[in-house]
Structure 1
Amino acid sequence: MSTCPTTRRRFLQSAAAASLLSTLPGLSGAVTANTGAKAKPVSGTALRWLDGKPPARFHGATLGVPWPRGTLRLPAGRRLDFTLGANAPAMQSWPLAYWPDGSLKWTAHAIAGGAPAAGWNVEPGASRGGTVNVRQAAGQVVVAAGDVEWTVPATGEHLVASAVRAGRVTLQDLKLVALRQDGPEPEVEGSVARQAFASKVTKVTVEQAGPVRAVLKLDGVHSGGGRDWLPFSVRLYFYAGSDSVRIVHSFIYDGVPERDFIRGLGVTAQVPMTDPAHDRHVRFSGEGAGVWGEAVRPVTGLRRDPGQAFRDAQVAGRALPPLDGMAKPVRDGLQWIPEWGDYSLAQLAPDGFTLKKRTKSGRAWIDANAGTRSKGLVYAGGASGGVVLGLKDFWQRAPVQLDVRHAAGAMAEVTAWLWAPSAPAMDMRSYRGEDGMDTHDKQIAGLNITYEDYEAGWDAATGVARTSELQLWVTGGTPSHDTLSAMAEQVANPARLVLSPERIHQCGVFGDWDPVDTGTPARKLIEDRLALQLDQYLRETEQHRWYGFWSYGDVMHTYDPDRHMWRYDIGGYAWDNSELSTDLWLWYSYLRTGRADIFRYAEAMTRHTGEVDVYHLGRFKGFGTRHGVQHWSDSSKQPRVSNAAYRRIYYFLTADERVGDLMRELLDSDADLATVDISRKLPKKEGAPQGGFVNASFGTVWGSLIAAWLAEWERTGDVKWRDKIVSGMRSIAALKRQWFAAGAPYDHRTGKFHGPGDTASFSNLNGVFGVVEMNSELLTLVDEPAYRKAWLQYCRTYNAPKEEIVALLGRDPGGRGMGDTNSRMTAYAAYHERDRTLALRAWREFFQSDWLKPEGSRTRRVGGTAVLRPVVELANTSTNGSAQWGLAAIQHMALGGATLDEAARAAGLIP
């Protein structure tokens, strides 16, 4: 299949041979695959820190780098050689995605840890060798990274059997733990039974073996008492130049919600304690840069003074000077000073943590301190070495907990609890019952008042998943407070190397967008509104505490100005669950701005929506749940929520393997459309599909499926997935009404639509779940003239005057909602047909939005007794409108910038 000609001036400018790569094999004289013209260079591949400056500590990172079509090909040796420069860290590179002509579209680059700096550039050339080495032997994998050697058993209970630093076993028996409870917390009386589980690894896969980065994937289940449940996959990431391992932990809830309550879920390790009790230390990260640190047996604050040198050494975490220099009363009395063996920092809510300690099990806890938000880091060890363990998004994922046990004994235990055992048990039951909705008609009546679709058995949490990120260091001593604080910052906000928006845009990836530009009055007006909108959502997460283990990363659907609250308890107006492409809005906003806060907001959403809002096993596997009070409570299970388009940008920017897994899970999900009838609550049409076909809409169903197939084609070059997309394109174009048919009987075995398709109808939903973005990309990758024509006609006609609709279709089918945001389809047609009049019409349609009116974007502060805490609100905001308006504004400016100011003046928006 050849690539199609494109009229995009900006694409022609970017899809070109990069002269900086011409020294690599196969690059000299590269031409663009779609025009045959000599390619123009990209502007260099300078890396920058996401937060704008080098971090205090750098433990390695991975990023994706795009390349213009036709400029870079995999050398005959199948190895990519890139460097960051003569004095920069080592780098490991590999292919991530391909253009249709076989040239590389994305490459991934793992950069070794070490002294952080600015001014690194990805350039052709041999990188200096890394220090990561992987050895596979019978029953285990050994990873040597810098000064640490990690032994990973192939099966069994432990993720890591031991970590040896400088010949000393500093960590051993790293494993997963879970606590099950057979009922909820007793409300007044009663009791519950608890059961402990530990990880049982069944498979270890070496995905990368160095020299800069090694990646091991461990699959298994939690096992105990003769039961296996909570399947997991854990990836261990080792970087040259780092004494840490990054842990990406994913699990699936496969219990029965009415009787399987998770009381605790964690990662734990044993730490050999060989130093005297007064040289053993425990540290926790506190608020901001703060660190709390004490010795197992303190020598400060005593009735007798041991001496300044002893006090200073213990506070700093160093071994005490020889005890014969200590004041005799203290030296003689050391044995009477209590040894504090157990410590716990519990963050049970996003606004508060408590810190306590005790001497040992069976003794009372005493309060040590408390605070608001910890960054989630703990250390246990001593002068000879120890372990630092941190949990990302710590307070945001509350209830969470960090524990140290038996620090006064021979073997301490350090645990990061993803769900704190000191909190009430995790309750996965439905928030509501049948409540009389025992017939189809009653369920429809309920839907009509609360906007949430209820159906018994279709609101179960069984099959949802969650991914957490941790980092673990093996140290040669007790880190200083400054070092621990820097480690905590690394856990909370991992150092990332990224590209500028301009460099990414030059490569023609991800369709219609351009970097932020306030160079004209009308563009500034729109850019200011976009920024205001984004800033409001960042504010809303904090104002309304959109936090928690299952919820962090999502946003709410619709605001209730009467209560000055989001409608968290009103059916389908509560959690958004990707409705109307919120994820895409955030990712395109990051691409344009390069803002760190938007990246992290979008990253949290990707981690949430791809895991929690989607089923990963069971009858709903591959389908997502429509918006509702709980993330799984609505009975509408659809591919429009599990849509790979919402994960794909993050995957290519970061090369994140877990997100890559999630996209691959969806490749065959269309085969289950017949068993998960997503249209069962809609009025039935005559002539139900036969022969294994299902009725499928072009936008909400097929438009959501194609993103997974596109990603797989890009990642592997396997034309099977391209051909499946093309089958859909051709069969849509072959229908009498083409895109105006809105949907048709679909055959998952061939990817084709069938039937006459002779009835025209409109649905505003067909264009708001990523199909506009996917078509924008696909029509630069495959040459399907009939489908292109059909799509352009649909784009041109959607917002057309009624008489044009009637002239084309014979009648006006109605159903054309969201005219202001769907104006981007008009803009798309205008751009590709070079129709200036149509472009001006597209702007007029867009300007109908209230967002560009002063009253439509005016915030107000509400305080006093009207609210729980003061808030700044946009009274009539909704995530549907915000996401679609944002996407429309981005695409409009990318396609119609030449006519923007003229149209804005005509509309009276600018002088």
Structure 2
Amino acid sequence: MPPFLPSRRRFVQLAAALAAVPGAPIASHAATANVGGKGKPVSGTALRWLDGQAPARFEGATLGVPWPRGTLRLPANKDLRFTLGAGGPALQSWPLAYWPDGSLKWTAHAVAGGATASGWNLEPGGGTVKAGVSVRQSAEALTVSAGELTWTVPTSGEYLVERATRAGRVTMQHLRLVALRQDGPEPEDAGSVRRELFTSKVTRVTLEQEGPVRAVVKLDGVHAARAGAGRDWLPFSVRLYFYAGSDSVRIVHSFIYDGDPARDFIAGLGVTARVAMPDATHDRHVRFAGEGVGVWGEAVRPVTGLRRDPGQEYKDAQVAGQALPPLAGMAKPVQDGLRWIPEWGDFTLAQPTPDGFALRKRTRSGHAWIDANAGTRTRGLVYAGGATGGVALGFKDFWQRTPSQLDVRKAASDMADVTAWMWSPSSPAMDMRSYRSADGMDTFEEQIAGLNITYEDYEPGWDASPGVARTTELQLWVLGATPSHQDFSDMAEQVANPARLVLEPARIHACGVLGDWDVSDRSTPARKLIEDHLAFRLDQYLREVEQHRWYGFWSYGDVMHAYDNDRHMWRYDIGGYAWDNSELSTDLWLWYSYLRTGRADIFKFAEAMTRHTGEVDVYHAGPFKGFGTRHGVQHWSDSSKQPRVSNAAYRRIYYFLTADERTGDLMRELLDSDADLHKVDIGRKLRPGSRPGALPSAGRSANAPALVDASFGTVWGSLVAAWLAEWERTGEPRWRDKIVNGMRTIGALERRWFAAAAPYDPKTGKFSGPGDQARISQLNGVFGVVEMSSELLTLVDEPGYRKAWLEYCRYYNATSEELVALLGSAPRGRAQPDSHSRLSAYAAHHERDRALALRAWRELFASNFMKSHAAARKVGGVAVLRELHELPNIGTNGSAQWSLAAIQNMALVGDSLDEAARAAGLVGP
């Protein structure tokens, strides 16, 4: 069946939206629609700033750009060139993904730092790019040169960067990782704990890109005991990004927790560097980012506030961070008394909570700290150096991922230490133990009883934290002078909110990528009604993050699962109702919302979620590697480990929009995770017969031990996303073949998709068995398989699977009588008819069935979600910790799935929305 193009009315609406994008012709949308059809070339691509305006400072950035099928191919010499036009910054480009015909689907583009404008237009072509970054390799080190800066990256050893020189002067040395291990938790009464220092040990260095605009070096290793021989632990992966036109290196730091939670407590986790301090101590300076755009800046030896006045020019120079004028002109009493002014060597800014930080300093080790200042939230940047240069270091989401800390030590000596602590050593140690004991749940039956009351799947040993990971984005500058307060504030903004270039939603949509969605459109009363409710839900969740302080090192980026109206709290302490862990595709909801609207706040919300769910909610080592954890009180506490959580569909959109290498790594980790399906019993507490509609999700097949029983949606549909991403990225046919094997064998079963699950062979990707039993599970269609099927059916021609999927889409929400006529029975297990309305819409669109399209809208409108605006209320006084803007009965499952259904319905059957809304009485005639 050929792809079904949108109605004329929807085409006119979308063409009008596309016409607003400079350089993107309307014709390209007509050819591509949103189904991946072959398109005509776009003549240009407008890049804009995510936040709507040019930043004060730009350190370089990378973005992904889609292209219609068949319109752009990699040159025979593999040299992919684009330009941002005359006067635009230098650009480095490379392939990111391919269409099945070999044409380019996504390209990646690194933009040099320095220059800013309101935006640029990206066009294919251009001459040779002048080298701004270059790399020289030897057996001992990689030497990266960028303007005045030269960075030496050893190929092994303790240091990530051995030294960095600016204009030939060694300004920074010995960039390395540090970790403090504590052998127990904080003593609750009497007692003591012991701490041990570990530092990075690099075992492998990979040059991934070598310029001319961007160089990328990946370092892998472990943390090794600093004091003599000892254990190695906490595996890490660090990428160093060097951009032309930038004075900084971007550092993407990832580590895996692989300790024993009962005795391996992380008391500190950081990145540290040594800074040369040759200037006189009165010309040495320390800066910290403060609240908002604020800056705290002081000298190591101050000359302001003294009993004797040195002269205004001296005070002004020191406050500005400049070298003092010749001392011979200073007031004689101060000149003679300089040596008696204390030198302040150590400075600390600690942010133990998202609501407060404290700044302290002392003269040196062994002496008391004094309080300098305090505040609420800082953007997380510190500088130490002098008039001849220094180093600034900080990291993104500083106050959101507390406890965090920034240190300067020994600033009065020849070499100062600057450290960014991702886990603050002045806070209680990181506790990775389970929050609970078995509490009598020793048998399967007792565990079932526990599940029935708290919604938590518990089994001893299956609530383990070892194997989870976390990624942090840092920025380090090597500067030729102390930055002014304004420059330092601009740098802090780049740390907290990196400048990002993006595309307009219409330009992305014109290429037919990423499934069924359209550009946000309020042109009719009915569309406005739906769009307003979509925005209302998104705004409420953005509000909830702040209202309920969904922050912290391990938690920032996640949201909660369900609300407790009586306590006016999310059910943070009730089993499976607590952290969401991607349940029912929250990640996809946010990313499709961004694609449609281009809203910066939604992008940042989705980005934080992708960073969290891909790292913390998934195991990267150990017996559960490749699987994620079902929703729970701790991100790893539920005993159900499933591919539906590690699902690459939740990372894929972010990867293609940003070309983020770490996210690419995470998707590749999952390619062979189906080989381990026999290790986990996904449905241990929900075995066949334990409740209506339960499915054997995974586990050894009794009839064929080499096979596993796998559901089509929660298992296979989750695995498909990783294979699709890899096929797109590499063009390797083995991943396409594995996908097709699954599609083809599902379509060959007697009950096709209504078989719901079947014995699966991880080696081939094929299902087997008669598939003659009709079963339904509401969960099969809510973990990304809808989105994956929509894309796959535009990329491969599998008539059997197309028939099976369209049949499932048409009949999932059909009447019991219609199901009986089709299957001979009406199996239990159907639920969420509103979120499954998008299945009806999919069948209606592809089979051109307007009556079915109107049914899809009725299914969506039947939900109470359309009435939820009226329930929103403010709750204050003694009933709550702080005043809340509350939406009673809010739940993330319903919010995500209803929104995804509304988004897909508008894209597929939007031309029937007005008629359906009038019939339902939602809008006037």
TM-score range, shorter chain: over 0.9
Q: 1:37 to 1:211 in 2, by over 3 A?
A: closer
Note the C-alpha offset of 1:731: 0.5
Please say if residues 850 and 856 of structure 1, whose CA atoms lie closer than 8 Å, have aligned partners that are also in contact.
no
User: Residue 258 of structure 1 aligns to which amino acid in structure 2?
Assistant: A
Which residue number in structure 2 is paired with residue 715 of structure 1? 729
CA-to-aligned-CA distance 1:821-841 (integer Å, 9 cap, x gap)? 111100000000000111111
Q: Which residue of 2 aligns with 1:282?
A: 286
Contact residue 350 and residue 547 of structure 1 kept, 8 A: yes
> Structure 1 counterpart of 2:156, which letter?
T
Looking at structure 2, the residues matched to 813 and 441 of structure 1 have their Cα atoms a distance apart, in angstroms, of: 26
- Quote the offset at 1:802 in angstroms: 1.1
Matches within 5 A, 1:217-256: 217-224=218-225, 225-256=229-260
Q: Which amino acid aligns with 1:477?
A: A
Change in 2 beyond 3 A, CA 1:39/1:658: closer
Do 1:32 and 1:71's aligned partners in 2 also have CA atoms closer than 8 Å?
no
Q: Is the 8 A contact 2:403 2:423 kept in 1?
A: yes
**1:297–1:338 Cα contact (<8 Å) kept:** yes
After TM superposition, give the deviation of residue 457 of structure 1 in Å: 0.4
How does 1:381-392 map onto structure 2 within 5 Å?
Answer: 381-392=385-396
Moved more, 218-227 or 489-498: 218-227
Match of 2:772 in 1: 758
Summarize the Cα distance change of 1:847–1:21 in structure 2 as closer, same or farther, 3 Å threshold. Answer: closer
Pairing partner for 1:329 from 330, 333, 346: 333
Could you tell me how far 1:37 is from its partner in structure 2?
9.5
- Counterpart CA distance in 1 for 2:559 and 2:37 is 45
Residue of structure 1 equivalent to 2:69: 69
Amino acid aligned to 2:809: C
What residue in structure 2 maps to residue 202 of structure 1? 203
Q: Deviations over 1:14-41 (max 9, x none)?
A: 999x99899xxxxx9x998999998434
- Superposed CA offset, 1:235-271 (max 9, x none): 0000000010000000000000000000000000000
Aligned to 1:869: 882
Residue from 6, 10, 19 that aligns with 1:9: 6
User: What do residues 562-620 of structure 1 show as CA deviations (whole Å, max 9, x unaligned)?
Assistant: 00000000000000000000000000000001000000000000000000000000110
The one of 303, 311, 318 equivalent to 2:307 is: 303
1:805 is paired with a residue whose SS is helix
Query: 2: distance between equivalents of 1:243 and 1:161?
Result: 17
Q: What is the 5 A alignment of 1:645-724?
A: 645-684=649-688, 688-724=702-738
Q: What does the per-residue CA deviation read over 1:407-446, in whole Å, with 9 as the maximum and x for residues that have no partner? A: 0001000000000000000000000001000100000100
Return closer, same or farther for 1:360/1:184 CA change in 2, 3 Å cut-off. same
TM-score, normalised to structure 1's length? 0.97
Q: CA deviation at 1:314?
A: 0.1
Show the 5 A alignment for 1:452-531: 452-531=456-535
Matched letter for residue 401 of structure 2: R
What is the alpha-carbon distance in structure 1 between the residues aligned to residue 38 and residue 417 of structure 2?
Answer: 62
User: Which of 836, 847, 850 is matched with 2:864 structurally?
Assistant: 850
CA distance, structure 1, for counterparts of residue 347 and residue 659 of structure 2 = 37
Distance 1:35-1:729 versus aligned 2 partners, 3 A rule: closer
Contact 1:20 1:124 in 2 (8 A): no
Alpha-carbon distance, 1:647 to partner:
0.1
Report the Cα offset of residue 489 of structure 1: 0.3
Opposite residue 510 of structure 1, the aligned amino acid is: L
The 3 A distance-change label for structure 1 pair 420 and 19 is closer
How far does residue 689 in structure 1 lie from its aligned partner after superposition?
3.9
1:684-833 to 2 correspondence within 5 Å?
A: 684=688, 688-833=702-847
The code of the aligned residue for 1:890 comes to: I
- Letter of the 1:639 partner, please give it: P
Alignment map for 1:615-630 (pairs within 5 Å):
615-630=619-634
Which position in structure 2 is the counterpart of 1:25? Answer: none
Gaps in structure 1 of 5+ consecutive residues? 23-27
| Secondary structure of the structure 2 residue equivalent to 1:774 | helix
Name the CA distance, whole Å, in 1 between partners of 2:681 and 2:777.
19
Between the aligned partners of 2:35 and 2:475, the Cα distance in structure 1 is: 47
In 2, the alpha carbon distance for the partners of 1:520 and 1:829 equals 24
Q: Which amino acid aligns with 1:436?
A: G
Say if 1:684 and 1:764 are closer, same or farther in 2 by CA, change over 3 A. Answer: closer
1:617-646 deviations in Å (ceiling 9; x for gaps): 011000000000000000000000000000
Once the two structures are TM-superposed, the CA of residue 43 in structure 1 deviates from its matched residue by 6.7
| CA apart distance, 1:130 | 3.4
**Mapped contact 1:21–1:123 kept (Cα < 8 A):** no
* Amino acid in structure 2 at the alignment position of 1:60: G
Letter in 1 for 2:47: L
Equivalenced residues, count: 900
**Correspondence for 1:897 among 897, 907, 910:** 910
Q: Does 1:413 align with 2:417?
A: yes
Specify the code of the residue in structure 2 equivalent to 1:443.
Q
Residues 43/627 of structure 1: CA separation in 2 closer, same or farther (3 Å cut): farther
Q: Which amino acid aligns with 1:473?
A: W
Query: Once the two structures are superposed, what CA deviation does each residue of 1:507-542 show, in whole Å capped at 9, x if it has no partner?
Result: 000110011000000000000000010000000000
Query: 2:891, 2:6 → 1: CA distance?
Result: 35
User: Is the CA contact (8 Å cut-off) linking 1:5 and 1:34 kept in structure 2?
Assistant: no
Superposed CA offset, 1:375-426 (max 9, x none): 0000000000000001100000000000000000010000000000000000
Q: Label 1:518 to 1:110 Cα distance change in 2 as closer, same or farther (>3 A).
A: same
Alpha-carbon separation, structure 1, partners of 2:557 and 2:31? 42
Q: What is the CA deviation profile of residues 31-61 of structure 1, one whole-angstrom value per residue up to 9, with x for unaligned ones?
A: 9899999843437300000000000000100
Q: How far is 1:857 from its partner? A: 5.0
Query: Which runs of no fewer than 5 residues in structure 2 stay unpaired?
Result: 690-695
How many angstroms apart in 2 are the aligned matches of 1:404 and 1:271?
10
Once residues 805 and 638 of structure 2 are traced to their aligned partners in structure 1, the CA distance between those partners, rounded to angstroms, is 32
Q: Which amino acid is the alignment partner of residue 289 of structure 1?
A: V
Secondary structure, counterpart of 1:603 in structure 2: helix
Equivalent of 1:888, from 901, 907, 910?
Answer: 901
Q: Hey, what does 2:166 align to over in structure 1? A: 165
- 1:37/1:892 Cα in 2 relative to 1: closer, same or farther (>3 Å)? closer
Cα pair distance change 1:820/1:219, threshold 3 Å: same
TM-score, normalised via structure 2 length: 0.95
Residue 841 of structure 1 is matched in structure 2 by 855
Secondary structure (helix, strand or coil) at the match of 1:673 reads helix
CA contact (8 A) 1:529 1:857 kept: no
- TM-aligned CA distance change 1:511 to 1:31, over 3 Å: closer
| CA–CA separation in structure 2 for the residues paired with 1:356 and 1:741 | 65
Residues 20 and 292 of structure 1: is their aligned pair in 2 closer, same or farther, counting only changes over 3 Å? closer
**Structure 2 partner of 1:50:** 50
SS of match in other structure, 2:493: helix
Once the two structures are overlaid, the 10-residue window that deviates more, 688-697 or 532-541, is 688-697
Alpha-carbon separation, structure 2, partners of 1:61 and 1:833: 43
**What is the distance in 1 between the residues matched to 2:729 and 2:50?**
25
Give the AA of the match of 2:634.
Q
Q: Which amino acid aligns with 1:261?
A: F
Q: What letter matches 2:815 in structure 1?
A: P
Distance 1:8 1:264, change over 3 A: same
- Counterpart of 2:217 in structure 1 is 216
SS across alignment from 2:915 = helix
Contact 2:35 2:791 in 1 (8 A): no
How many Å separate the matches in 2 of 1:799 and 1:77? 52
Q: In the alignment, residue 805 of structure 1 is paired with which amino acid? A: L
Q: SS at 2:120's partner residue?
A: coil
> What percentage of aligned pairs have identical amino acids?
76
